[in-house]
Amino acid sequence: MTKPMLKMTAAFADVMPAEYVELVQSGPFGKGYGVADLGSFKELIEEHPLCAGCGLALAVRLIMASLPSPEDTVVVGSTGCSSLAFPQIALQNIHSLFGNQNAVATGLKRALTLRFPDKHKDVLVVAGDGATADIGLDMVLHSWFRGEKLATIMLDNEAYANTGGQESGMSPEGCVLNMAPTGKKFKKIALPEIARESGCAYVASVTPVQPRKLEKAVRRAILVAREVGPTYVQIFVPCPTNYKFKPQETLVKAKQKEKDQTYPLREFITPEAQSYLAAIEGGGKRD
Amino acid sequence: MPEQRVVTPEFLFTEAAREELFITGSEAVREAVRRGNVDMAISYPITPQSESMHLVGDIYAEGYVKDYYRGENEFAVMSSVAGAAMGGVRVFTATGGPGTMRALEMFPTWVGARLPIVCAFFTRGINSPLTIQPDTIEMAHMLDTGMIMLHAEDAQDLYDMILKAFIIAEQTEVHIPVGVFADGFFVTHTRDRVRVASPDLKLPPYKPYSAPVPVIDMENVPFRQMRDPFVMKSNYVSYAAHASWQQEVLAAAERARPFIRKYLGGLIEVENEHADILVLAGGTAVCQGREAIAMAREEGIEAGLIKIKSVRPFPSDELRALTANAKAVIVPEFNRVGWLSREVRNVVQNPDCVVPGPRVFGGMTMPPDLILAEIRRYARD
Ligand SMILES: Cc1ncc(C[n+]2csc(CCOP(=O)(O)OP(=O)(O)O)c2C)c(N)n1
Ligand code: SF4
Ligand SMILES: [Mg+2]
């Protein structure tokens, strides 16, 4: 934001909603906070309507705390569980339709590039596995083929969670889910590898078990998308409701999959992105 | 590319000197976009639209449009122009027939998101076996998307309507998309005399912050958490919020009426309005209607002509008044379902006076004699 927009008319301070007052007084805009600062500032998301123990909700919270420049970040989401959380996030964000997020983001990014040629406006896509790897796959891939400077994040709960736990292309092979009554018949889609081959300059798959690692992947994805090209981060976000485990076991499940490598963690970086990251991360500074 | 000068819409539309070109409808699209101060255009090929967006690509290469690319399919293109419009720029695209149907899910969301997108639709058949021929059936599917729908009779209309569509769409109290429809091939692929303003004039730029909704750029308020947001809740507040927004969107189209009157001279055009036999048509069927009433006059039969320029909003009051004493309102159409005659029957005082036809489809042209035969029949009664 170019103007000091987040301020209050003093006379209205006592009638403004509490969360807005907090956002003005101790929000993250222009402060350079990160995951390590959680608890000391007003987060972009405070409440959310998602299930207890939802891995996706945790990931969204961590993503929002990882943005290099929240004051100049806009988000394009998609239909799914995360779309219930986005109205509660203090960033301008778009929900258009199920699956068209990378096409919407393409138009948005290009428009902002035309309007703000001297500024980085980070356009972040955050969508489910169904939205990203199934119904919207053509638009995801084409945004990568075209080299659109977008950071695409998949919240991978390995199912269509919002519609009641159906199989998605990202569900593990053999898994019994709705619409896969005898078990899924094909392998989990290898989207990180596909992303690497489709023009992404930076690709990572992570879990919320290691928040600092997740933060690093998200920041790298956003920074590389500014200067080099499209990026992709896939986050494993266990869903207690549809995979039928206790809410308090979410991180245990994620940890287990990390450990036995049934959810392989990846990081692919092109040489160009590597040298860009080396230059900006060299001093150990955050930006 | 000449240095272009920004002029007021009124100057560009009425006062500016015009020169006459002999061009196709597709070329008329290029000439409109050239003067439209368009930031971004996104294309996808489909007959009979493709040529128009090639030509828009050509003027992008010359510098008249700031960004342009070929998208991956029509649904994606309509999504991308939505993203661009939400980012605060003036966008243009075009499609037709199967492309319209492929993208259909997007159109009501353009309206709900209050995006002033201008899209040209070059109508063609939708059928199996595959047809690429002229047919206006896709307009039937578009009637209730909430978009403003203008119907061009010829290349001149197309040029004028596209330019005026930007200005109508971008009024703060309107701020919804406009579809400019023209009959594929008959308009796109034929040459006609078109009077255009000088190419070194252009419309004023779009003002993003004139939008009645926030622009997605983190440069305008609000951006804040909403506690207990109503979207997707199953409670009365949620239903009421959605219902009132849907009514507001309908009202936005209603509020377009005065701007359509101002810039297009009305939602309809009428010839010989006191005749009790009226031919009512949109698009190129108007031409055949005009010929038919001229032929009738030679036979000593008086008939009138109503040209529908705005399908949404629909000229209900105008038609009710004009048809009050009509014996017959003959509605020739280029589609098999007769959507325009249905629309007319819904608004006139005496629906029985509406003659739902003649209709041609499958690619046929409309012989004026078919319309004349109807005129004669009602003249005899
Ligand atoms: C065109 C269309 N088809 C289907 C749906 C129904 N739908 C809504 S959310 C959803 C599942 C979303 O799955 P995913 O992207 O994995 O997100 P999750 O809910 O798992 O977070 C589906 C199928 C829709 N909204 N639109
Ligand atoms: S259904 Fe699963 S992914 Fe969706 S909110 Fe509940 S726990 Fe989270
Ligand atoms: Mg999912």
Q: Ligand 2 centroid vs A78 CA: distance in angstroms? A: 15
- Tell whether domain A48-281 is in CATH 3.40.50.970: yes
Q: For chain B, give every residue range classified as CATH 3.40.50.920.
A: 269-380
pLDDT-derived band of residue A18, with 50, 70 and 90 as boundaries?
A: confident
In contact, A240 and A266? CB cutoff 8 Å: no
Q: Give φ, ψ of B153 to 5 degrees.
A: -85, -35
pLDDT single digits (tens) A187-204: 999 999 999 999 999 999
Residue B221 confidence (pLDDT): 84
Point out the least confidently predicted range of A159-163, B227-231, B301-305.
B227-231
> What pTM value is reported for the model?
0.97
Q: Is the CB of A101 under 6 A from ligand 1?
A: no
ipTM over 0.95? The verdict is yes
In whole angstroms, give the CA distance from residue B90 to residue B40: 6
As a whole number of angstroms, the distance between CA A98 and CA A133 comes to: 12
pLDDT reading at A276 higher than 70:
yes
CB pairs under 8 A between A and B: 143
pLDDT at B233: 79
Interface of B with A in 148-187 (CB under 8 A): none
Residue among A162, A188, A189 whose CB has most ligand 1 atoms within 8 A, to mutate: A162
Mean predicted confidence (pLDDT) in A49-72:
97
Q: Å from A22 to nearest chain B CA?
A: 10
pLDDT in tens, A89-132: 999 999 999 999 999 999 999 999 999 999 999 999 999 999 99
Query: A208: pLDDT confidence band, cut at 50, 70 and 90?
Result: very high
A69 in contact with B, Cβ within 8 Å? no
Mean pLDDT of chain B: 96
Calculate how far, in angstroms, residue B325's C-alpha sits from the geometric centre of ligand 2: 63
Choose which CATH entry (3.40.50.970, 3.40.109.10, 3.40.50.1820, 3.40.50.300) describes domain B5-209.
3.40.50.970
The string of DSSP letters for chain A reads: --S--S---GGGGGGS-HHHHHHHHH--TTT---GGGTTSS--SB----SPTT-HHHHHHHHHHHH-S-GGGEEEEE-SSHHHHHGGGBSS-EEE-STT-HHHHHHHHHHHHHHH-TTS--EEEEEEEHIIIIIITHHHHHHHHHTT---EEEEEE-SSBTTTTSB--TTSPTT--BBTBTT---SPPP-HHHHHHHTT-SEEEEE-TTSHHHHHHHHHHHHHHHHHT--EEEEEE---HHHHT--GGGHHHHHHHHHHTTSS--EEEE-HHHHHHHHHHHTTS---
- Candidates A97, A102, A119: best to mutate against B (most CBs of B within 10 A) is A97
Of B65 and A5, more confident: B65
Is a pLDDT exceeding 60 seen at residue A229?
Answer: yes
Taking a contact as any Cβ pair under 8 Å apart, which residues of chain A between 28 and 57 contact chain B? 44-47
Average pLDDT over residues A36-59: 94
When pLDDT is averaged across residues B175-186 and rounded to a whole number, the result is 98
Residue A284's pLDDT is 47
* Confidence band for A287, pLDDT divided at 50, 70 and 90: very low
Q: Which amino acid is at A210?
A: Q
Residue of B nearest to A24 (CA): B224
Give me the residue spans of the domains in chain A.
Answer: 48-281
At residue A283 the predicted structure's pLDDT band, cuts being 50, 70 and 90, is low
- Chain A positions in Cβ-Cβ contact with residue B39 (cut-off 8 Å): 111, 114
DSSP code string of B260-279: HHHHHS-SEEEESTT-SEEE
Secondary structure string (H, E, C) spanning B23-67: EEHHHHHHHHHHCCCCCEEEECCCCCCHHHHHHHHHHHHHCCCCE
Does ligand 1 have an atom closer than 6 angstroms to the CB of A162?
yes
Whether domain B269-380 has CATH 3.40.50.1950: the reply is no
Q: Which pLDDT belongs to residue A3?
A: 62
Tell me what pLDDT residue A81 has: 96
Q: Kindly indicate the confidence band of residue B229, based on its pLDDT and cuts at 50, 70 and 90.
A: confident
pLDDT band at A286 (very low <50, low <70, confident <90, very high): very low
Determine the residue among A106, A152, A198 to mutate to test chain B binding: the one whose Cβ has the most chain B Cβ atoms within 10 Å: A106
- pLDDT digit string, tens, across residues B124-162: 999 999 999 999 999 999 999 999 999 999 999 999 999
The pLDDT value recorded for residue A285 is 45
CB contact residues (below 8 A), chain B span 45-74, against chain A: 66-67, 69, 71-73
Cα–Cα distance, A32 to B218 (Å, whole number): 17
Residue of B nearest to A16 (CA): B224
Closest CB from A44, A96, A114 relative to B89: A114
How many angstroms separate the alpha carbon of residue A124 from the centre of ligand 1?
19
Considering chain B, tell me which residue range(s) the CATH 3.40.50.970 domain(s) occupy.
5-209
Name beta bridge partners: B123: B183
Give the number of whichever ligand sits closest to the CA of residue B75.
1
Q: Which two tokens stand for residue B10?
A: 């009124």
| Nearest ligand 2 atom to alpha carbon A155 | 3
The pLDDT of residue A47 is 83
CB contacts of B76 in chain A (<8 Å) are 100, 103, 138-139, 142
Residue to substitute from A45, A74, A163, interface B, most B β-carbons within 10 A: A74
| Average pLDDT rounded to a whole number, residues B16-35 | 98
Question: B1: pLDDT confidence band, cut at 50, 70 and 90?
Answer: confident
Distance from CA of B51 to the nearest CA of A (A): 22
The number of the ligand 1 atom at minimal distance from the alpha carbon of A78 is 15
pLDDT digits (tens, 9 = 90+) for A231-274: 999 999 999 999 999 999 999 999 999 999 999 999 999 999 99
